[in-house]
Amino acid sequence: MKIVFNKVDFEHPGVPVFHGLSLSIAPNAVTALVGSNGSGKSTLLGLLAGVLSPDAGCLSTGVDDVAFAVQRSAVTDNFPITAFEAVMMGRWRRLGLMRRPKPVDRAIVEHWLTELGLVDVRDRTLGELSGGQRQRVLLAQAFVQQAPLLLLDEPTTGLDSGSAAVVVEHLRRLADAGTTVVAATHDAAVVLAADHRIDLDEAG
């Protein structure tokens, strides 16, 4: 189902961000959100994730299951859990009240640890990881959720060129398999790989 913003207004306290924003985002595709700093990229992702609500207008995503990988700067690096535990947190919503991982949950986590080159650091705490490794942990945590709508805020920031290329390749594969991917980015490689591009400097 297409994502639709219809005349959406939003402001942070005293700071208007969107006024009458109307746009649509195609399903089962990679859409790159671009624009200058302060144009509202992270805010738009927050609205899509449901952590923010429009002040006016309406927004329809057509799904309740959303995975959101925030910028690494928004997450403490000293949270006393291992990389494996942090990625497994992405499965919590599917584990039920007891949060006991099943073999399938472990298999999904192991898959993404392998794909994103994190096997060797799986038992290290987040504080022991490099910035790029922590970024990949956050991405793996989002990927293991297997949500139909995947939101990413600057997904390749802090990654070396090889790791960034792997991430971009996986975004394409996820979209080709039916996931709707929306990525706020300044990375030209992400924009080039995307099916669609929305420039918030022009969207109003």
CATH code of residue 32 = 3.40.50.300
What does the DSSP 8-state code read for residue 89? G
pLDDT recorded at residue 74: 54
User: What confidence tier does 97 reach under pLDDT thresholds 50, 70, 90?
Assistant: low
Domain count, the chain: 1
What is the rounded average pLDDT of the residues 119-135?
93
Q: What is the pLDDT of residues 73-95, one digit of tens each?
A: 656 666 789 999 999 999 988 77
pLDDT recorded at residue 8: 97
What is the rounded average pLDDT of the residues 127-141?
93
- pLDDT, mean over the chain: 92
The domain of 105 spans: 28-39+64-203
Dihedral, CA of residue 10, residue 13, residue 14 and residue 18, to nearest 10:
-10
Residue 166 lies inside a defined structural domain of this protein: yes
> Looking at per-residue confidence, does 78 or 31 come out higher?
31
Strands (E) in the chain, as ranges, are 3-12, 15-25, 30-34, 56-60, 66-69, 149-153, 180-184, 196-199
Model confidence pTM above 0.85: yes
